[in-house]
Amino acid sequence: MGKELKILVIDDDEVDRMSVCRALSKIEFSVNVLEASNYHEAIIYLEKYEFDCIFLDYRLPGKDGLAVVKEVRDSGNKTPLVILTGQGDERIAVEIMKAGASDYINKSRVNSDLLAKTLQHVVRIHEAERQIELFHQQLFASNEELKRKNQELKEKQQQIYQQNLKLLEAAELKSRFLATMSHELRTPLNAIMVFSQMVLRKTKSKLSDSEADMLERILNNGKNLLELINDILDLSKIEAGGLKLVPEKFDIARLVKVSTDELRILAERKNLTINIDIDIQNTIVFHDPTRVRQVIVNLLSNAIKFTDTGKIDINVNEISNECLIISVRDTGIGIEAGKLEHIFEPFRQGNQTNSRRHQGTGLGLAIADSLMKMMKGSISVESELGKGSEFRLELPRSLL
């Protein structure tokens, strides 16, 4: 032991007390011994100092060892207590140890070697117990902190849950509002388009070139506006879970060709070439043809819109008997790498400013992505700025 041990010897017999003190003075490590002839003197020392070990005579006047041990332990003092007994008191000493004493020594056997071993033993046990208690205190504190953190986490989770409920409610209200407004807007817009067509057919010869041009503009802008409204309506239906697929058997090769031919005139106006390559054995699939066509038309329209020179390639292949790949590759402006991860989010466009060259709501790809998921497929994109883009649809042959 490196440090000096502070020892208290409590014994009313001066000879026995001197014997213990003499033996302690001869042990190999340093000790500082204080003596008390009765329990009241001992109490004064215990209140004033902290001891490493106490040697206690079992038979103190007016208070036996068992009572002393209980009183010391009840006060919270955990200093090692070694009971000094007379011949024949071993059984009683064992009972005292059950009450909290650390060890006992028969006075007739007191010597420096025995006291040194006893001190080392009880002090090491006391230190080990102190470390264990400290560990338990730290563990308890950690557990309490963990409980507090868990409670905070539960409260945060509850807050997040409540916020999610509010967000879901707000999203549902938004979807209902968009669906209602889209229906309300389409009615007068269809009337404007019909009336414009009627006027153009019946009175075109009577109109001046500028008047006919203005009517054409009204009709074309009406068509563009109707397309935007339809996009918003589709998105609101998808978000609200109101869009239902109507699957049937149809020829996917024919649908791709017809959809492409419908848009070919737009490509020809920009001197763009459209190539179709269909390489599948069985062209019959079981899907919602309206929604498959909507996705393909969206990709083709975007390819034409964002390509000024070059060509557009549409390829249909099969990667297995159960899955088709439909790709639309263009030589257009391409997409910045940093924007690719957001390209399928609603209202996302390459140029978000009011001065952007290509107009639109930015809903087409978001709708295409949602429709592909509904059809158990997926959509992906590879693009390089200034060199074009390729969109790939992975479509299972059947919804079943």
Q: Provide the pLDDT confidence category of residue 282 given band limits of 50, 70 and 90.
A: very high
Q: Are 195 and 221 in contact (CB under 8 A)?
A: no
- Residue 355, pLDDT score: 37
- Give the span between the Cα atoms of 78 and 80, in whole angstroms: 6
- Residue 88, pLDDT score: 66
42: number of Cβ within 10 Å? 22
What is the rounded average pLDDT for all residues in the chain? Answer: 86
pLDDT at 89 over 70: no
Rounded to the nearest 10°, the torsion over CA 183, 186, 187, 191 is -170
Residues 6+ apart with CB under 8 A from 188: none
Q: What is the pLDDT of residues 101-145, one digit of tens each?
A: 888 888 888 898 888 888 888 888 888 888 888 898 899 999 999
Tokens coding 335: 């997409």
- Residue 374, pLDDT score: 93
Q: Provide the pLDDT confidence category of residue 2 given band limits of 50, 70 and 90.
A: low
**Locus of tokens 């239906």:** 237
Q: What angle do CA 33, 36, 39 make, to 5 degrees?
A: 135
Task: Round the CA-based radius of gyration of the chain to a whole number and report it.
Answer: 46
pLDDT at 360 over 60: no
- Give the span between the Cα atoms of 344 and 339, in whole angstroms: 10
- Residue 390, pLDDT score: 96
Percent of the chain with pLDDT over 90: 40
pLDDT at 273 over 90: yes
Ordered by where they begin, the domains of the chain are 5-110 (3.40.50.2300), 165-240 (1.10.287.130), 248-396 (3.30.565.10)
* Separation in Å, CA 243 to CA 79, 187, 249, 366: 79, 20, 19, 14
- Residue 227, pLDDT score: 76
Q: What is the pLDDT of residues 207-229, one digit of tens each?
A: 777 877 888 888 777 877 777 77
Q: Are 68 and 93 in contact (CB under 8 A)?
A: no
pLDDT at 362 over 80: no
Low-confidence winner among 3-7, 85-89, 122-126, 252-256 (lowest mean pLDDT): 85-89
- Residue 353, pLDDT score: 39
Closest CA to 362 of 395, 386, 385, 339: 339
Burial of 78 (0-12, 13-18, 19+ CB in 10 A): middle
Closest CA to 392 of 295, 280, 248, 267: 295
Q: Provide the pLDDT confidence category of residue 231 given band limits of 50, 70 and 90.
A: confident
Start-to-end CA span in the chain (Å)? 81
- Residue 354, pLDDT score: 37
pLDDT at 376 over 90: yes
- Residue 356, pLDDT score: 44
Q: Which of 9-13, 44-48, 57-61, 389-393 has the highest mean pLDDT?
A: 389-393
Q: Are 84 and 20 in contact (CB under 8 A)?
A: yes
Over residues 74-79, mean pLDDT: 86
Q: What is the pLDDT of residues 25-73, one digit of tens each?
A: 888 888 899 999 988 898 899 999 999 999 998 888 877 777 888 888 8
